[in-house]
Amino acid sequence: MFVKIKTGRGLRGSTFLAVFSRSRQRSSALPAFAVMALLFLSPPSRAQDRVPGDPSATPDGGSSRADLPDAPQPQVANPAAESGGVTLRATPINILKDQGAIWTSPARIRENNAILPVALVLATTLTITTDHQVMSSSKLQNTSLNNEADTASTGLVGGFVAAPVIIYGLGQIHHDSHATETGILGGEAMVDSLIVDEAMKLISFRERPTVDNAKGKFFQSSVGLNSSFPSMHSVIAWSSATVIASEYDGPLTKVACYGLATGVSLTRVLSRQHFPSDVLVGSAVGWLIGRYVIHRHRRD
């Protein structure tokens, strides 16, 4: 007689900052977002007691029945599967939950996950101190270069916006759930990133490099909605690139996605649309949110 034991479900963390300290723990897939408890099915006995009158029993008291099969491998629980999977219908609710986790994440900073946040703050501070010097360089005072860089950055970011849509469409046509999931999560990450980007712009009110001799002053109410900090192009590119590179984690895909995203960030500086610190923070925000969305909602 078999005793069926239900497999325990692992828990996946929902903390946005947990991504910071675990970003390099897996080579072929994303790092674990939290410690998951795994319970295995107990293997059943491989021999049975002799039952009187059992035609399968052998004269010596053994059993002619084949050995019982090994217990099935455990399955790790996933929030996406528990909530019905990654679907367009669930995306608005997921975005609201994402925003709650993102904006409350500073309250969950601990020693074990503070390395990257601290490093980012230090790098941003250092970069801000050099913004004026970089943007005042004569090498960037080239209208032709600025226009070409602006065109290139717009074209590249347009590709990153279109990529999840195209991947989703192909997934629907070919009934490929992996592609469909990639398209949905890519769109979710970009929306999450845009919300954070616009909120940060309204808080920073930073002047563009083309204003006031590229002094890059913060908290200038006259800036309005045209705040420079952080770079929206960088946020979009890196959030989309991170999802695609994580879902299709081959080395060529990663090089292509992150390489093109880097191109977006660099061309925003070359076009004199953003300071180096703007694209640094924009890239980091996009990457971190992309990682969070993947960890929180991807079906393993």
pLDDT tens digits for range 180-202: 999 999 999 999 999 999 999 99
Give the model's confidence band at 85: pLDDT under 50 very low, under 70 low, under 90 confident, else very high: low
Is the N-terminal amide bond of 230 cis, ω within 30° of 0? yes
Give the model's confidence band at 243: pLDDT under 50 very low, under 70 low, under 90 confident, else very high: very high
Check pLDDT > 80 for residue 298.
Answer: yes
At residue 241, the pLDDT reads: 98
At residue 80, the pLDDT reads: 52
Who's near 47: CB < 8 A, 6+ residues apart? Answer: 62, 63
> Do 70 and 43 form a contact (C-beta atoms < 8 A)?
yes
pLDDT digits (tens, 9 = 90+) for 92-114: 999 999 999 999 988 888 888 88
Check pLDDT > 90 for residue 51.
Answer: no
Mean pLDDT of the region 218-242: 95
> Do 220 and 286 form a contact (C-beta atoms < 8 A)?
no
At residue 52, the pLDDT reads: 45
Residue from 275, 125, 282, 280 nearest 209 by CA:
275
Who's near 48: CB < 8 A, 6+ residues apart? Answer: 63, 65
Lowest mean pLDDT among 37-41, 147-151, 158-162, 256-260: 37-41
Mean pLDDT of the region 251-259: 96
Mean pLDDT of the region 36-61: 38
At residue 124, the pLDDT reads: 96
> Do 284 and 241 form a contact (C-beta atoms < 8 A)?
no
At residue 55, the pLDDT reads: 46
Lowest mean pLDDT among 51-55, 81-85, 269-273, 290-294: 51-55
Check pLDDT > 50 for residue 22.
Answer: no
What is the distance between the alpha carbons of residues 249 and 137, in angstroms, rounded to a whole number? Answer: 38
Check pLDDT > 80 for residue 10.
Answer: no
What is the distance between the alpha carbons of residues 204 and 38, in angstroms, rounded to a whole number? Answer: 45
pLDDT digits (tens, 9 = 90+) for 163-177: 999 999 999 999 999
Which of 74-78, 79-83, 88-92, 242-246 reaches the highest mean pLDDT? 242-246
Confidence (pTM) = 0.72
At residue 27, the pLDDT reads: 35
Check pLDDT > 80 for residue 276.
Answer: yes
Check pLDDT > 90 for residue 28.
Answer: no
What is the distance between the alpha carbons of residues 131 and 209, in angstroms, rounded to a whole number? Answer: 9
Beta bridge partners of 57: 63
